[in-house]
Amino acid sequence: MRKRSVSSVQGQAAVLNRDDIDTDALFPGRFLRLTERSGMGRHLLADWRAEGRAEAGFMQRAEPPRLLLGARNFGCGSSREQAVWALADYGVQAVLALSFGDIFRNNCVRNDIVAATLAPDDHAALLAALAASPQAELRLDVPTRTLSLPGDLDLPIALAEGHAEELLSAEDPIARTLHFSDALRAYEARVRSGQPWLASID
Amino acid sequence: MATLFDKIWEAHRLARNAAGDELIYIDRHLVHEVSSPQAFTAMAEAGRGLRSLARHVAVQDHNVPTTADRLVHIASPESAAQIEALRRNTRATGMRLLDLDDPRQGIVHVVAPEQGWILPGSTVACGDSHTATLGALGALACGVGTSEVEHLMSTQSLWMQKPRTLGIAIEGALGPGVYAKDLALAVIHRIGTGGGVGQAIEYHGAAVRALSIEARLTLCNMTIEAGSRFGLVAPDATTVAYLRDRVKGAAHEHFEAAVRAWKDLFTDRPGDYDRREQMDASTVVPSATWGTSPADSAALTGRVADGMRTDDETERKRIAAAMAYMGLEPGQAMASVPIDIAFIGSCTNARIEDLRAAAGVLRGRHIASGVRGLVVPGSTQVKQAAEAEGLAQVFVDAGFEWRESGCSMCIGMNGDSVAPGLRCASTSNRNFENRQGPGGRTHLLSPASVAASALRGRLTDPRELMA
């Protein structure tokens, strides 16, 4: 996958105001048997849609919302990156929440999705604004860490350390790491001489 | 002055970037068939290969059928294709693979410690959130996504934000019939499913020291269920004794030097943790989850949603939704909840000590009519050991199905799943909605508790059946 530079996200938001939405809900386990990474959006929230859950109703809209608003501990559970591939494939470019599962949040940034947290008061303000105006167009700006709503309401958002830089960068992370080949080699030499038991899985 | 986590982290840190992320060398990468195919494809498309072949090993686990004919027949074409993809990818890269017919095959988090691959002071990653299990041996072990699997294969390192540290001191001692699984449920109940986010948890104190390595693996396994990517226990004489007979190759050859190096692997002072919690193991009782989050647990002698009365409206709604999904009433006695399926397995509780504990409850008894019992050993070696000890016969005599090893009904990818509306007493780690199959209802509990529940046909405290 080619890395993009992401500096802003603009569009409508869907609300998933429920704590502990796990990656099993976002992407049910039985679809993990697929070996591709494209086209995963069709399995996003598959069980919730099958059950006719109100939270998944946004997927019936003609246009996918660009932003999702979760609550506490969004994306907890499994490390499955398919949950994030499904969001990206469906068209989501940013997830906002009170907090995230750590692995999910990292998977987001690896796939050019902004995963930003809001303070509780701002989260409540955003919920109220979206309840009053579900079609509101939001704009999330990465460099300034700001979420702008119609009517001049600007809310501060927070990103994990390093995520803003990674989003703004267009450089492939593996290529970036390979700039550190000297440090990698130095560690390996140190292990060979000082901790030979760590050098291989025997 | 530093924590155990700090010491291992610093020893593996290669660089720090302007954004504050640190590049950490990963000594061991474990691969399985579910989270790796897209990483192998992307690596090949980028024209890259494995940086350090000897630091990777692959195991087939999530998709493998647990039926005796699995070497000749896999019912799901998708599972068969994913298993075949790992064969193809490991052949193409030269990566070692423990395939279905390998005598060491099993769940990656069960096999890796069993084979002596996980050493104190090492860093370990795997594309599976339960990699935290392996911290039981004093390693920094964490789950990663597929992009990071590719990054690891090409660079043998990961960029990570250093987590804060949470020291959970567990003093006292677990009583008879109370196991590491009950302790893990108590920890999650205490700090919540988000309680460990952004933090590495070190379990310490007298009760932790007293745990076997297998019990420590169970405790660390569910660390991710408390929101933390890393759970660990400082190495001690128990760790050294466990590893001595298992390590091979260079680790065997240099074992005494390694043991000397491991003596520095401890947290200097409790005050070095960013945050501290204290628990008393003697207050922990056999427990089970009643809801759809691993934090939703209560004593087996207690009541559904015990202690969960709250003024928080969001939480009230969440509990109501969990009750509806689980088909339970708040305040209902836990011991009144009937079960349809009893599952003993998964990377949490499918090691030999787990099977011994369950068999100890089952010996000479038969499970209730209408209950389906399923034992899926965590590895082929566990299976063989259980057969040699006569445990397999105890399970069969009690009415359990005795299966081949794999992840099985923990995630339901391999054909073993819980049908809609059925209720499963399970030793696995997740009771999320639909986790064991669409509409399936999961109660998490220890192997002894699952055995006791299977005998009575309803959730049961195993102490009631222990002489």
**Count of domains forming chain A:** 2
* Domain limit, last residue, from B233, B250, B275: B275
A39, part of any domain: yes
Is B397 domain-assigned? yes
Same domain? For A102 and A194 the reply is no
Same-domain check for residues A149 and A186 = no
Specify the residue for token string 């299990």: B133
Structural domain includes residue A22: yes
What value does the mean pLDDT take over residues B35-42? 97
Structure tokens at B423: 């209720």
Q: Which domain does A179 fall in, by range?
A: 171-201
Tell me the chain B residues in contact with residue A166 when contact means C-beta distances shorter than 8 Å.
19
CA distance A29 to B416: 12
Rounded distance between C-alpha atoms, residue B376 and residue A86, angstroms: 31
Banded pLDDT at B308 (limits 50, 70, 90): low
Q: Which residues of A touch B254 (CB under 8 A)?
A: 196-197
Mean pLDDT (whole number) for B312-317: 84
- Establish if A69 belongs to a structural domain: yes
- How far apart (Å, rounded) are the C-alpha atoms in residues B96 and B87? 10
Q: How many domains does chain B have?
A: 2
Tens digits of residue pLDDT in B434-459: 999 999 999 999 999 999 999 999 99
Q: What are the pLDDT digits (tens) for B412-433? A: 999 999 999 999 999 999 999 9
Q: Which residue has the tokens 């494809």?
A: B41
Q: Which residues of chain A have pLDDT under 50?
A: none
What share of chain B in percent tops pLDDT 70? Answer: 99
Q: How confident is the model at residue B307 (pLDDT cuts 50, 70, 90)?
A: low
Could you give the C-alpha distances from B272 to B8, B121, B266, in angstroms and in order?
14, 18, 11
- Backbone dihedral angles phi then psi of residue A3, each to the nearest 5 degrees: -75, 135
Question: What is the pLDDT of chain B when averaged over all its residues?
Answer: 97
Per-residue confidence (pLDDT) for residue A111, from 0 to 100: 96
Residues A118 and A176 in one domain: no
Q: How far is A52 from chain B (nearest CA, A)?
A: 13
Domain that holds residue B324: 290-464
- B251 and B297 co-located in one domain: no
b/e map B265-299, b = 16+ CB within 10 Å: bbbeeeebbeeeeebebeebbbbbbbbbbbbbbbb
Interface test with B, best of A2, A26, A33 (most B CBs within 10 A): A33
| Residues 6 or more apart whose Cβ sits within 8 Å of residue B245 | none
Question: In this structure, what are the phi and psi dihedrals at residue A7, rounded to the nearest 5 degrees?
Answer: -115, -20
B139 with B123: CB under 8 angstroms?
A: yes
pTM for this structure?
Answer: 0.97
A160 contacts in chain B (CB < 8 Å): 161
Contact check, Cβ <8 Å, A174/B247: no
Residue in this structure with the two tokens 């890796």, named with its chain if needed: B112
What's B38's domain CATH number?
3.30.499.10
What ipTM does this complex have?
0.96
**Domain shared by B327 and B416, yes or no:** yes
Both A85 and A136 in one domain: the answer is: yes
d(CA B119, CA B398): 38
List, for residues B165-202, the tens digit of each pLDDT value.
999 999 999 999 999 999 999 999 999 999 999 999 99
B241 and B310 inside one domain: no
